[in-house]
Amino acid sequence: MMTGYQTDPSPWTRFRRHLTKGILFVAGAAALALAAPAAHAADFQKEWAELVAAAKKEGVVSIAAGGAPSRNYRDIFDAFKKKYGIGVEVSRGGANSTISRVLAERKTGKHTMDIALISVRINNQRLVPSESLIPFEPMLIHPEVLDKSKWYGGRYWYGDKFTKYTFFYTAGVIDGLRFWYNTEKVSAKDVATIKTPGDLLDPKWKGKIVAQAMEDPSGIRQMIDSWQTEGMGPDWVRKFITGAGVTFSADRRILETWLVGGRFPIKAPTGAEEELRTLAKKGIPIKEGVIPAKQGMLRASGSGCCISAFKNAPHPNAAKLFANWFLSKEGQTLLHTTIPNLSVSSLRNDVPFGQVIEEQRRTPGKKYFYPDADPESGARNKKIQDEIMKIWESRKR
């Protein structure tokens, strides 16, 4: 007979009920956890397939490239074309002339470029101020690119003051002042006396050193770096440019010829020198020297440092596809494996070093000073550049 109320279940019964509910909750949560990655993967594959289809309709991606990418990335561009059936049009000529043309076209409402593979200096001084770029991170959708744990420092690195336009994908390791010398004209004993940057200013080297002129983007960049490097600084730069008897040229082929022929047996300071390394391996009597620095540093090296995306791109889907593929493990592996004597390395941590030269391979776990990733570096470097150009122009008076 019912009494109008029920007695409480036993402690054992209550325990079993709670246990059953707990098991069901955990099982449900586990099922959701397992389903989430699969759902995300399916969503990405759908988005990627739609992007590829839209990019194929556009048929081409147009790239404004500086020296290194325009010379050395052909195999990478060909791989992209082969994989997706999308052509890659790359600008010809130097970075400055290319950007002058592009900016002039944009003023008339003509938009011809999608992607820029141009130095951080030109990005900061010309593309960012002219509002020619779009924020880069919103373009990124590939899981391999979005996973910041795969990038040096567990983050993205940018070279502009807004930290959103100029995306660094490589960096050069600066372990000292590097120079090349002709072994038939300069003895090992003489090279051994070059222990500090100041030793290059010794009168015995007057008339024997060549360097890149300030009209060359790499030349001005080397002097900007020297201006800010311990043991060098403004006084060293001033003496090197005006008082050390250095011969300058903006023509890299001429500099190479002078060094190899021995007319000027030392080339200093130097940066990316893939051509000289190739010649040295072929038996040409030239060799690289280095004056060690106290602190390891990362530097944005030339036009092969960073990628940015143009506003009002004529082929936005092809640009998005290229950017994601290029920054993926596959794209950055090609960067390391198709360019002989590569003098920078990808900021991805999960790609083999391939043909990256030994001194440009970051030490795992080591922290480096990275001034180019400082948002204030653009303005600081511009001020330094202006001072250097004043010194440079004083030579002509």
| Percent of the chain scoring above 70 in pLDDT | 90
DSSP label at residue 348: B
Please report the pLDDT score of residue 93 as a whole number: 81
Which residue spans of the chain are classified as CATH 3.40.190.10? 52-171+302-368, 172-299+385-392
The pLDDT score that the predictor gives to residue 302 is 83
Confidence of residue 242 (pLDDT cuts 50, 70, 90): very high
What is the model's pLDDT at position 1? 37
pLDDT in tens, 56-82: 999 999 999 988 899 899 999 999 999
Q: What pLDDT is recorded for position 193?
A: 96
Q: What is the CATH number of domain 172-299+385-392?
A: 3.40.190.10
pLDDT at 294: 74
pLDDT of residue 29 exceeding 90, the answer is no
Q: Is the pLDDT of residue 36 over 80?
A: no
pLDDT given for residue 13 in this prediction: 52
Q: Give the model confidence (pLDDT) of 115-162 as tens digits.
A: 999 999 999 999 999 999 999 999 999 999 999 999 999 999 999 999
234 vs 280: CA distance, rounded Å = 33
pLDDT single digits (tens) 337-348: 999 989 899 999
Best-predicted range by mean pLDDT (52-56, 121-125, 298-302): 52-56
pLDDT-based confidence at residue 2 (cuts at 50, 70, 90)? very low
Question: Average of pLDDT values for 304-317?
Answer: 98
Q: Which tokens sit at 169?
A: 């994908």
Task: Evaluate if residue 14 carries a pLDDT over 60.
Answer: no
Most confident of 33-47, 88-102, 320-334: 320-334
Task: Tell me the average pLDDT across 94-123.
Answer: 95
pLDDT of residue 6 exceeding 70: no
Mean pLDDT of 187-196: 95
pLDDT at 397: 65
| Model confidence band, residue 41 (pLDDT cutoffs 50, 70, 90) | confident
Beta strands in 115-182 (DSSP E): 115-117, 133-134, 167-168, 170-182
Lowest mean pLDDT among 193-207, 213-227, 266-280: 266-280
- Indicate if the pLDDT at residue 8 is higher than 60: no
Rounded CA separation 138/143 (Å): 13
pLDDT tens for residues 326-338?
Answer: 999 999 999 999 9
Contacts of the segment 228-237: beta carbons below 8 A, 24+ positions apart? 228/371, 228/384, 229/177, 229/197, 229/293, 230/293, 230/294, 230/295, 231/196, 231/197, 231/198, 231/293, 231/294, 232/177, 232/197, 234/387, 236/197, 236/198, 236/201, 237/388, 237/391
pTM score, whole prediction: 0.75
Q: Which of 4-18, 39-53, 276-290, 293-307 has the lowest mean pLDDT?
A: 4-18
SS3 226: helix
| Burial grade of 46 (CB within 10 A; 0-12, 13-18, 19 or more) | exposed
Closest residue by Cα to residue 200 from 237, 234, 229, 169: 237
Cβ atoms < 10 Å from Cβ of 389: 14
24 or 210, higher pLDDT: 210
Structure tokens, 172: 């050069």
Mean pLDDT of all residues in the chain? Answer: 89
Q: How far apart are the first and last CA of the chain?
A: 118
Q: Specify the pLDDT at position 116.
A: 98
Looking at the chain, the whole-number percentage of residues with pLDDT higher than 90 is 72
Contact predicate 103/133, CB 8 Å: no
| pLDDT reading at 7 higher than 50 | no
Secondary-structure class of domain 52-171+302-368 per CATH? alpha beta
Q: Give yes or no for residue 238 having a pLDDT over 60.
A: yes
Give the contacts of 120 (CB within 8 A, at least 6 positions apart): 159, 160, 166, 168, 300, 305, 306, 372, 378
What confidence category does residue 38 fall into, taking pLDDT thresholds of 50, 70 and 90? low
